[in-house]
Amino acid sequence: MLGTYSYHEIFRKTIVAFGTLFNNIELKRSDEVMKVPLAYGPKQKFLARLDQVPDPTNKRVQITLPRLSFEINGVNYDSSRKVSPTQKIKFKKDVDENKNAFMPVPYNIGFELAIISKNQDDGLQILEQILPYFQPHYNLAVKLLTTVGEIKDVPVVLNNIDYQDDYEGDFTQRRAIVYTLSFTAKTYLYGPVTDSKVIRKVITDTYSSVNTTRAPRERRYTVTPTSLVDRDAAAITTLTNAIDLTDGILTLGSVSGLAQGDDIQIGTEVMHINRVVGSTVHVSRGWNNSTIAAATAGASILKIDAADLIFVDSDDDFGFGELYSDFTDMKKRNPVSGADEAI
């Protein structure tokens, strides 16, 4: 279990998404508009830079204010959002294969955002652009699993605001007003994502002897899924006359390709063919629990057949096709190759 490599960059994505919230903060001074710089790192680092004396031999200079900095200050498990750890979620990969993962594990990531300014007006301008969006949380849409396109809302909760004004010392010391905003991002962590094939056929062989290694199969039961509705939208003919809710005989432009026992669809109503007589078909209406509806002349007739099966997803409603086969050829099925081989 442990040791299976799995890295979805969820922490990284959450950090980037959190920082993106504050990368367009602006400051206005009379007719001047400036974008407030944002960087990842502890506020102590930037406060220390403020007190440094610029070295004329070095291209580095003192940092300018105001500015924003943010960092992670903790990661904690959130038991209040816990779900069943053994339950799996399924993501569709294609018609024959799904991706599976266990339910995500809830974790809270703590963030600190520092607003560093040299006067109150600058700090209050920035603060007032942030606070109205948190009441007390703001939802971030984050694509946590890129491979399957899983997007979740990550609430970012504003917990508290601290204020600090470093204005002590002589006139050579720079003033720094610091507003520290504490946040909690309620994210989710996923384990490994695995592939799983969709089962589209089940074959069961029965024997008259308990020695199945030497006994031939005598009866085979095969089950395959069947589509309950048309899915390929391929019309095979049209309705010649309009029908109401009670009509059980349909006149078609052609009955080629239709036979007793087939299912057809007009609009959203599915019908079962009981008989084919000339250019008409006798049908049972409202088949497969569909709703009986009137149809106009010229409506398309869709046939529900094997061509629709490839469009059936494991989450769709579908039926089952059953087939019983009897054998006397003294063979048994090889489960690896799928062929019937002599014993």
Which listed CATH number (3.30.530.20, 1.20.1630.10, 3.30.2000.40, 3.65.10.10) goes with 10-195? 3.30.2000.40
How confident is the model at residue 167, as a pLDDT? 63
Residue ranges in the chain whose pLDDT is less than 70: 1-3, 46-63, 92-97, 166-174, 314-315
Q: What is the pLDDT of residue 163?
A: 92
298 CA to centre of own chain: 40
Residue 216 Ramachandran class (φ > 0 left, ψ -120 to 50 alpha, else beta) = beta
Is the bond preceding 136 in cis, omega lying within 30 degrees of 0? yes
Strands 331-333 and 67-77: unpaired
pLDDT tens track for 165-192 = 866 555 555 678 899 999 999 999 988 8
pTM here is 0.58
- The string of pLDDT tens digits covering residues 8-34 is 899 999 999 999 999 999 998 888 888
Using CA atoms, how far residue 156 sits from 19, 39, 137, 169, in Å, is 11, 19, 5, 38
Provide CB contacts within 8 A for 64, sequence distance 6+: 37
Instruction: Note the pLDDT of residue 2.
Output: 66
CB 323 within 8 A of CB 221: yes
Residue spans of the domains in the chain: they are 10-195, 198-342
